[in-house]
Amino acid sequence: MEKQQAQQKIAELRKLLNQYGHEYYVLDNPSVPDSEYDRKMQELLKLEESFPELVTADSPSQRIGGEPLDAFQKVQHNVPMMSLGNAFNESDLRDFARRAAQLTDEPISFVCELKIDGLAVSLTYENGTFVRGATRGDGTTGEDITSNLKTIRSIPLSIQEENTLEVRGEAFMPHQSFLKMNEQRQANDEEPFANPRNAAAGSLRQLDPKIAGKRNLDIFLYGVGEWQAGSLESHSERLDYLQELGFKTNPEWLKCETIDEVIEFVTYWEQKRPELNYEIDGVVIKVDNLTQQEELGFTAKNPRWAIAYKFPAEEALTTLREIELSVGRTGVVTPTAILDPVRVAGTTVKRASLHNEDLIREKDVRLGDQVVIKKAGDIIPEVIRPVEEKRTGDEKEFFMPDDCPECGSELVRLEEEVALRCMNPNCPAQLKEGLIHFVSREAMNIDGLGEKVIIQLFRENLVHTIADLYRLQREDLLQLERMGEKSTDNLLKAIASSKENSLERLLFGLGIRFVGSKAARTLAAQFETMEKLQEATFEDVVAINEMGDKMADSIVSYFAGDEVKSLLNELKELGLNMKYKGAKQQEIEDDTAFSGKTVVLTGKMNDFTRSEAKALVEKLGGSVTGSVSKNTDILIAGEDAGSKLDKAEKLGVTIWNEQQLRDVTDD
């Protein structure tokens, strides 16, 4: 295809994909199935790969996320992002309306908007293109999180507005995404996020945009900072115009002519908030007329023309009947309160988190207690406190058992930990959770072998260990629910294919404590074979960059276990690959141009793809990062190198061209 034809086709695909994305993520009314969107996206990616000079910042392909950042850059807000004063009752709202009325001669109308509990951000567009996104920070200075915000599909990368426009909104995590993410974190023995707001804020402050991209965040736009988009007379008109430009605004706003109507709106949503798929913690009330907003002005901290009504946290009283124990993948035993059913924040709650034994002791929670519960972030129920004055004397203290509730092995508390653990690697509960982790996407990636299938396999006594997965027969799988001949054959192929995975996937899948996917890759590259890793000493492991004492101790202890040695022997006999297939440490020369150097790649290269250049640098001992900083040793600049080249020159970084890279690799 000629470049001109490609340019025309790319423009058509971008227009279609932007339309499909807007329909799906903003209007919630998709016009095509997901498969059609995916097909068009793949077509665009292939064309942009063939013609990289045609890639632009507003292409839908640029949402995927670039290289991890070294740190966030500071951003000055030209118009400060001020916080709002708070109202907690009807009297506070009437006082707000009275004060506003005293400062202007004309009648006041208000706009009421739901107060989204997320992270306040600003988005700047120049010549219609999204160029910068930032956190609120202290109101004057925020952090540049443009790469992370681009992963939010409801943020348009381009708009039909040539003037500079800075819009403001609240990025948030929908309930469904929050629950799914916490389930995954708990399965990986990671601390779950306390509420959707913390989850959204934590996601947008990840240095790796790909992490933010997996978190399924969303946004509602509610206002502006810099505004050169023509003269509008009211805040309500601005909301309409933002929607016309393609921004996602919350549909549940209302223009109110009196403060009584405002109070009705607040009361309505205080009751209806559980029906929403996102978290709100109140209602924002603004004077609608923009001229009146200017008349009212600001105090030292807040605008006089707006206020935030804060909902009280909803709590409920119920009886704690039992404490149930569950065993996770790493053996942690977690207590959960079993309660008399009670309504909290719109749903019936029967179970609530107690976290660990120390918390039970600290709160003095007893079996039979009347307890106060609430939903953390209005989602996860937790026990707040017992009502001691309601005790009858029949309540009983709870003590964690000495033995595992699943397998009967002795429970231990490791040094500096509050959790009790079952240390038996053959504990059924751990095996089941461990298998679910083992087959997951980042581990062995066995497609079709999800949690429900694993549970069935356990229930039918078809698997007890990881090795059993590789002994499954066709007739074993056909007896399971919803497993037909085609799905069975596909699953067996996926299991067989997983045997060829590189060593790092197997290491991560084994679920060694403290060893995530990145550490597994580092270990695999360093030791190259499972046999060498098994023979490694504490000193061998801790000498590796980024391997601390705890991780090294965990790794050495894991491979010292007889059960682990037996399991690995079984897996080897069953044909699983035990070698690292990436660039090997032994191939890296001790003294090369890149040994120990931090390298940044930028611009278009003719003889290398970006991934090929990165692999070559790493093979020769270098570390490739995505942004230029004072720690950068070499910048390799191809054609059309932009801001990274400018920054490297200012910092005095050594700059190479593609020919110099070619010369080094030819040697």
Query: What tens digit of pLDDT does each residue of 261-290 get?
Result: 999 999 999 888 888 889 898 999 999 999
Which residues neighbour 426 within 8 Å (Cβ) at sequence distance 6 or greater? 407, 464, 465, 563
Exposure string for 537-554, b = 16+ CB within 10 A, e = fewer: eeebbbebeebeeebbeb
Residue 180 in any domain: the answer is: yes
Mind listing the pLDDT tens digit for each residue in 233-257? 999 999 999 999 999 999 999 999 9
Please pick, among 40, 46, 74, 115, the residue that the annotation labels catalytic: 115
Are residues 128 and 261 located together in one domain of the fold? yes
Q: Which of 397, 416, 450 is the last residue of a domain?
A: 397
Q: How confident is the model at residue 588 (pLDDT cuts 50, 70, 90)?
A: very low
Q: What is the three-class DSSP state of 508?
A: helix
Whether residue 158 sits in one domain with residue 281: yes
| Whether residues 274 and 368 fall in one domain | no
Q: Is residue 117 part of a domain?
A: yes
93 lies in the same domain as 219:
yes
Residue 75 within any structural domain of the chain: no
Is the model's pLDDT at 376 over the cut of 60? no
In this prediction, residue 426 carries a pLDDT of: 76
State the chain's mean pLDDT as an integer.
Answer: 87
Residue-level pLDDT at 34: 67
Confidence check: pLDDT of 583 > 70 = no
> Two tokens at 419?
């959790």
Torsion of CA 255, 257, 260, 263, to 10 degrees: 20
Rg (CA), the chain: 29
User: What pLDDT score was predicted for residue 68?
Assistant: 53
Tell whether 528 and 603 lie within a shared domain. Answer: no
202 and 271 in a common domain: yes
Say which amino acid occupies 543: A
Does pTM surpass 0.75?
no
Taking 90 as the threshold, does the pLDDT of residue 357 lie above it?
Answer: no
User: Can you tell me the mean pLDDT for 334-350?
Assistant: 85
**DSSP β-bridge partners for residue 322:** 338
| CATH number of the CATH domain containing 36 | 1.10.287.610
Q: How far apart are CA 129 and CA 56, in angstroms?
A: 10
Q: Give the CA-trace dihedral at 551, 554, 557, 558, to 10 degrees.
A: -110
For 339, list phi and psi in degrees, rounded to 5.
Answer: -115, 160
**Residue 618 maps to which CATH number?**
3.40.50.10190
Q: Known catalytic residue: 647?
A: no
Co-location of 28 and 132 in the same domain: no
Q: Are residues 392 and 440 in the same domain?
A: no
Look at residue 378 and tell me whether its pLDDT is greater than 70.
Answer: no
Residue pair 281/117 in contact by the 8 Å Cβ criterion: yes
**Domain, as residue range, for 647:** 588-666
